[in-house]
Structure 1
Amino acid sequence: LTFDDGPGPYTEKLLDILDKYDAKATFFLIGSKVSGQASVVRSIQARGHQLGNHSWSHPELPKLSVDQIAGEIDRTNEAIRQATGVKPSILRPPYGAVNGVVLEQLRLRNMSSILWSVDTRDWADRNSQIVCSRAVAGARPGAVILMHDIHQTSVNAVPCILSSLKQQGYSFVTIQRLN
């Protein structure tokens, strides 16, 4: 499971749910939200989840200049490093949008771009049952499920997803453990 656009008002609740099911996830954070919620970011890390960069302000990176792309990546890396002491090694580009310039900026920082294989479309359909059904239907060994911890309906879908997929024998690990 991966969660984009946080930290948000439901992130702490989500962390409690993940703990209950002994599941690990990867959180792709918006840099501009990190410093104001540094304790939540530290809690994500302390509970054994992975932190990733999701840019500073969620722009479509390929539409930016090289300097702007670098700023989006570096400001977010620094915010996460200041909160946790650790610099992320992965970035999920907003909208999944990358080009050669973005990939080169990541390469220069020894970072990887991480996309997804299952889109729950939880941002469009704010319905926990629909979100759960999409996640469960798309699950395969090694699947990377895209969700957003800024929506209450998404967080409310997580127990359904975890219990359904655990019954099928799946376990939940960070991107780092998957690779």
Structure 2
Amino acid sequence: MTARPGRHRTVAALAATALSVAVCPLGTATAAPQHPPLTRAAHTHTVDCRAVKCVALTFDDGPTQYTAALLTTLERSHALATFFLIGPHALQYRADALREYRDGDAIGDHTVTHPHLTLLPRPGIDQQIDVAAQQIASVTGHRPVLFRPPFGAWNARVREAAGAAGMAVVLWNVDPRDWKHHDPAFIDRAVLAGVRPGAIVVLHDRYATTPLAVPRLIDVLRARGYDLVTVPQLFATSGGLRSGVVYHHGPGP
């Protein structure tokens, strides 16, 4: 399926300058800074999120039967997002996963079975990440360089496994708990109350109510002067993303 006008995608390398990493659980990133910046295809629209207000909407657990409607909203709004895919879901909803990629959305790895990775030994963590990455790549043709651990649960083993797989660990700092509150108006209010420049918002395209919240969310964020960007775009002008580094939010003006 082809992308709609305004969301064409070209390949561009992320900036390879050094990123200053804050070692703080609530900071932008948490990890040792020795990893080189990742290379990831990016949308042509370049935004310096150090100078303008940016927000990254991210969606976990898809694709599902609700993803197509969400993609239509994003396409009509000429907006980009980041999707963290469960490997077997990408295989089941191949057209939607490929549509995300062709639209210019960023795609990340969200494991095979959505387990609590902190309860697994290192080989089990490796398998969850690597098999899902292979499944996603079999659809899009590209192995993900972004990883989100299910439930946001991570420890040193999870971070090191992601780094070994060549992936940055992307968490969030705005959570409307759409998995609990199946109310589009509530989701909108919760996101808008928490968003600040550089925010990473966690949402889920596995629930019917979440896509219904997105049109108003996009409109209000733009009215407030925000650029809606992918996670790689969020960091593109501040050194890019590094494998094995944990990110909670991006830069802001």
Work out the CA distance in 2 between the residues paired with 1:150 and 1:7. Answer: 7
Shift of 1:107: 1.3
Gapped runs of 5+ residues in structure 2? 1-56, 236-253
AA matched with 1:26: T
2:226 equivalent in structure 1: 170
2:133 equivalent in structure 1: 77
Shift of 1:2: 0.2
* 1:43 partnered with 2:87: no
AA matched with 1:100: A
2:171 equivalent in structure 1: 115
Work out the CA distance in 1 between the residues paired with 2:227 and 2:124. Answer: 38
Cα deviations by residue, 1:88-132 (Å, 9 ceiling, x for unpaired): 001110011011111111111221100001001001000000000
AA matched with 1:47: D
| Structure showing the higher helix proportion among its residues | 1
1:60-139 aligned within 5 A: 60-139=116-195
1:46-61 aligned within 5 A: 46-61=102-117
1:24 equivalent in structure 2: 80
2:211 equivalent in structure 1: 155
Q: Name which of 116, 134, 140 aligns with 2:196.
A: 140
Shift of 1:160: 1.1
1:13 equivalent in structure 2: 69
Name the % identity. Answer: 38
Greater Rg over alpha carbons, structure: 2
AA matched with 1:97: A
SS in 2 for 1:119: coil
AA matched with 1:10: Y
Work out the CA distance in 2 between the residues paired with 1:137 and 1:19. Answer: 25
2:62–2:205 CA contact under 8 A, matched in 1: yes
- Aligned-residue Cα RMSD (Å) equals 0.7
SS in 1 for 2:107: strand
Shift of 1:69: 0.5
Work out the CA distance in 2 between the residues paired with 1:15 and 1:37. Answer: 13
2:130–2:165 CA contact under 8 A, matched in 1: no
TM-score, normalized by length of structure 1?
0.98
Work out the CA distance in 2 between the residues paired with 1:45 and 1:135. Answer: 25
Shift of 1:86: 0.4
2:9 equivalent in structure 1: none
